[in-house]
A and B are shown apart, each in its own frame.
Chain A
Amino acid sequence: MVPEPYYTALSAILFTIGVVGVLVRRNPLVIFMSIELMLNAANLALVAFGHRAGTADAQVLVFFVMTVAAAEVAVGLAIIVAIFRLRRRLSVDELSIMRW
């Protein structure tokens, strides 16, 4: 068996790559995909911890996270499409209307 710390280390690396993607990229779609990457990394860590504890509860939790992620993607993409319809451009740097 592969020890669980390997899985959590991989999950930490994937999460960090996702964070850097959110910070570096300008396209909201790519930022959104980086967020999905971070969600996945967290899921992987959760399953690894559940595997160590020997219960299936973590898997149920991850299933709920997947459902919430699906709803989140639908709403988020609808918002991005609405913004694109309004502005004809997609760049997060220009969306500073909510900033004071």
Chain B
Amino acid sequence: MNHLVFFAVAVVAVVSALGLVLRRNPIHGALFLVVNLGCVAVLYLLLGAEFLALAQVIIYAGAIMVLFVFAIMVLIPGKEETGPDPLRSQRLLALPLGALLLFEIGLILSSSVFVAAPPSRAPAGPAAAGGIQSVGRLLLGDYLFPFEVTSVLLLAALVGVLALAKRKAG
């Protein structure tokens, strides 16, 4: 059952990622990316990361993609990539380079570091068992300082966006 769900979701994820890259209209790309993010959320659920699946849907598929769609609507692109491509020969290089990258990643993932390491599954104590509970304990325990720094980062991003978006007076 798990295998069936995984392969179905994996196929949808790859197809939607290809749709993002291949479709010319950016709004179609944005919708394909939403599908892809939803697929990754399902994979998080399969991996037992319920909190991340919810955060993925709320933060990525909700907030971030709304921002993207909003920017696409405001900027009204769609005519940008219609003309002849001046750098076509360079762009054609992307496919062999991508294939090479995939080969290299596969080589790394199949190396001894990732394969030979025995699945040193920690004893299924209370820390490892509950998904959301253990994440919450870690977030407000061991990782409290990074958690607080994150809020400063978000504030800095807020101020930076305001400074960038403000029109110069006069």
Contacts and interface: CB of A to CB of B under 8 A. Distances in A.
B30 A54 contact: no
Contacts of B51: 59, 63
Contacts of A30: 20-21, 26, 29
Interface residues of A, number: 69
A53 B118 CA distance: 9
Contacts of A48: 47
Chain B contact residues (Cβ within 8 angstroms of A): what range? Answer: 35 or more
Contact of B47 (A15, A47, A80, A82): A47
Interface string B26-49: 100110010011001001101111
Contacts of A64: 143, 146, 150
Contacts of B121: 52-54
A66 B60 contact: yes
B165 interface: yes
Contacts of A1: 2
Contacts of B29: 30, 33
Per DSSP, chain B at the interface is helix
Given A17-B14, A80-B75, A91-B80, A54 B139 contact: no
Interface of B: 2-3, 6, 10, 13-14, 17-18, 20-21, 26, 29-30, 33, 36-37, 40, 43-44, 46-49, 51-52, 55-56, 59-60, 63-64, 67-68, 71-72, 74-75, 77, 80-81, 85-87, 91, 93-95, 97-98, 101-102, 105-106, 109, 114-115, 119-122, 124, 127-128, 131, 134-135, 138-139, 142-143, 146, 150, 153-154, 156-158, 160-161, 164-165
Interface of A: 1-2, 5-10, 12-21, 23-27, 29-30, 32-34, 36-37, 40, 43-44, 47-48, 50-57, 59-60, 62-64, 66-75, 77-82, 84, 89-91, 93
